Structure 1
Amino acid sequence: MKLIKLATAGIAAAMLSGAALAANLPDGSKANPLRVLMVPADTGTNDITADYAPVFNGITEHYGIHFDLRAGASYAAVVEGMCNDQADIAWYGAVTFGQANDKCGVDLLAVDVKKGDASYYSGIFVAKDSGINSISDLKGKSMAFGSPNSTSSFNFPVAMLIAGDVDPVKDLKKVIVAGSHSASLAALAEGKVDAAAASYNSFGKAVKKGAIDPAKFKPLAKSQPIPNPPLAMNKGLTTEQKATLRQAFSEIHTKIDPAKIRGYGGKKVDRYDTQFDVKKIFDALGKLSAVTKQVKADMIGKAGQR
């Protein structure tokens, strides 16, 4: 009998402890908003959160969920923020989504959709008069990349190099890890490198801003379709919270001015797909198996050489 009482007391204590933990999680109220972290991206404004504020403000107005939007200092910081329970929602690239899932587990919330397409592309760009017409022509040349944690300005371009029989460490004359898509493209435009890695979206944005002259530069290689950067949820959110968030993101394009719907990098999109098959993200990441931690470390080491 004593053992039964002790066991019962233990179960009750555990239930109370769980309830206390749940009570400490943000509930999305004005006083306790859900914390949103975003990976750095080349956006339409100087403040990444400004591009997304209308969407989250719309969800607050129509669904009563409040948010605290912040930009992460780095890709890695957003992964750590989620896994240290400092974020409830995060906007990742495919690679950082995979990193966060491996580290602590995350739930997919949504991906953005434009004209029925939920994918984007990574590219390698060169000057039209460079004489570089294939990936193999990059041997002995210099190349700029974005952050090592970036899906489309580092990981996929490196995978394309390797698939094209170009060793990014041994075959490239010089490597610059510029830190962002725009910085990578700027290095190309300024003549610091022979090639640059970036997303097609970032190349198009650089053209619109006048940072890249399309008469002088061209795509050399284009990746397979990559699932659009996903929104992820902390696994600690309640089932009810997750369901409400999925409903809100699936419907918000019908609730606010459609022109205010934004995707990764601040681009205008049509809507959010909350039923997207997460397997497609993992399948895309499977194409990056050749881009190992050692390859990244060696490239960073090469970039540090003078």
Structure 2
Amino acid sequence: MRILSIIVFLLLTAMFAFTAHTQEVGSPQKPLRVMLIPADGGTEDGTKADFQPLFDAITRSSDLHFTVSTGQSYASVIEAMCAGLTDVVWYGPASYIEARDRGCAQLLAVEERNGASTYYAGLFIAADSDASSVFDLSGGSLALGSSHSASSFAYPLVMLRDEGLDPLKDLSALRITGSHTNSLLALKNGLVDAAGASFVSFERAVNQGSLDPRAFRVLAKSQPIPNPPIAMNTALPADIKAKLKRAMANVHEAEGIGPAAIRGYGGKRVDRYNTEAGEALFDSVISATSFLDDDYMAAILRKADAAQRG
């Protein structure tokens, strides 16, 4: 009887150990939850399709499993990470800094192409606009994306400021549309005189047939902006973080993984994901946008709200 009890005990121990193993974070039974900011409208067949090949490739090369979704807004993705509802997030630079400073996001990787990890924002105007400089926007209206976006919100305001324009005093109206594409569509439809968006998002909208590039002109180009990073939740187990870093760093060289799978912002192919990039990469964002403190942001949002109600 005692031998039987020992056998039962050993079988139960093995069964519980097997169950615990299969329920580890990153297993098929408990996949890592990936959430993406809705940079180009947040459609499941848009932003999600850009990154699904990358995470599928990581699964094949490392056996880490993922579920991928797109958040409803930049703010909701930040909150999801800080509430422990997601494990891995693709952020914009500004939204990453916000989540990092709240203690819930840790840098995982930054996409790299031709040795560079930066992109650009632009101030776009209609092709037939009379404006020839940023200062010519004085008295006009501007469409911006999400207030948590670097390239569709913060850097367009930086470009105005660099040319001596204060959007609170020198623009007739601000329109906050929630995304790059929506801002460009507002310009296309004559609702504003200019729109702030990334060149990646502009190119994507053109490639999808949403915009005719001949109808637009670039009035100004921003200084380089760090590419939107992929971050991991600080609460993840240390061994999972280490495994994620190894997998992300090596996926572009993994056997059986074609270059078409290594994709990033806007669905573009990238050379690799740099997991050695440090926080210093984002210091330029903090420096350039330091004037956007809470009071200034509140004033910008009030102006936009007044324009919407007006």
Q: Which TM bucket (shorter chain)?
A: 0.7 to 0.9
SS at match of 2:125: strand
Indicate conservation of the 8 Å contact 2:44/2:70, yes or no: no
Give me the CA root mean square deviation: 2.0
% same residue: 44
How much has 1:192 moved relative to structure 2?
Answer: 1.2
Q: 1:71, 1:129 → 2: CA distance?
A: 36
SS at match of 2:192: coil
How much has 1:32 moved relative to structure 2?
Answer: 1.2
Query: Is residue 2:251 matched to residue 1:260?
Result: no
- Hey, what does 2:12 align to over in structure 1? none
Q: 2:246, 2:203 → 1: CA distance?
A: 32
Query: Is residue 2:284 matched to residue 1:275?
Result: no
Q: 2:54, 2:62 → 1: CA distance?
A: 12
User: Any stretches of 5+ residues in structure 2 without a counterpart?
Assistant: 1-20
Q: 1:54, 1:297 → 2: CA distance?
A: 39
Q: 1:183 to 1:116 in 2, by over 3 A?
A: same
User: Residue deviations 1:78-111, cap 9 Å, x none?
Assistant: 1111111111111100001110011124221101
- Hey, what does 1:36 align to over in structure 2? 34
- Hey, what does 2:18 align to over in structure 1? none
- Hey, what does 2:292 align to over in structure 1? 291
TM-score normalized by the length of structure 2: 0.86
Query: Is residue 2:116 matched to residue 1:117?
Result: yes
Q: 1:58, 1:211 → 2: CA distance?
A: 30
Q: Post-superposition, which runs of at least 4 consecutive aligned residues in structure 1 deviate over 6 A?
A: none
SS at match of 1:129: coil
Q: 2:206, 2:67 → 1: CA distance?
A: 32
Q: 2:214, 2:75 → 1: CA distance?
A: 36
How much has 1:114 moved relative to structure 2?
Answer: 1.5
Indicate conservation of the 8 Å contact 2:121/2:222, yes or no: yes
Indicate conservation of the 8 Å contact 2:108/2:229, yes or no: yes
How much has 1:26 moved relative to structure 2?
Answer: 5.7
- Hey, what does 1:143 align to over in structure 2? 142
Report the residue type matching 1:261 in the other structure: I
How much has 1:242 moved relative to structure 2?
Answer: 1.5
Deviates more, 1:40-49 or 1:145-154: 40-49
Q: 2:43, 2:177 → 1: CA distance?
A: 20
How much has 1:184 moved relative to structure 2?
Answer: 0.4
Report the residue type matching 1:162 in the other structure: R
Matches within 5 A, 1:2-151: 27-42=25-40, 46-151=45-150
Report the residue type matching 2:33 in the other structure: R
TM-score normalized by the length of structure 1: 0.87
Report the residue type matching 2:123 in the other structure: I
Query: Is residue 2:207 matched to residue 1:208?
Result: yes
Q: 1:265 to 1:209 in 2, by over 3 A?
A: closer
Q: 2:220, 2:245 → 1: CA distance?
A: 36
Report the residue type matching 1:40 in the other structure: P
- Hey, what does 1:11 align to over in structure 2? none
Matches within 5 A, 1:189-268: 189-255=188-254, 256-268=257-269
Q: 2:150, 2:24 → 1: CA distance?
A: 30
Deviates more, 1:37-46 or 1:266-275: 37-46
Query: Is residue 2:154 matched to residue 1:155?
Result: yes
User: Residue deviations 1:91-146, cap 9 Å, x none?
Assistant: 10000111001112422110111222211001101123211111111110111111
User: Any stretches of 5+ residues in structure 1 without a counterpart?
Assistant: 1-22
SS at match of 2:68: strand
SS at match of 1:304: helix
Q: 1:216, 1:237 → 2: CA distance?
A: 47
How much has 1:29 moved relative to structure 2?
Answer: 1.0
- Hey, what does 2:163 align to over in structure 1? 164
Q: 2:91, 2:215 → 1: CA distance?
A: 32
Report the residue type matching 2:36 in the other structure: M
Q: 1:36, 1:183 → 2: CA distance?
A: 24
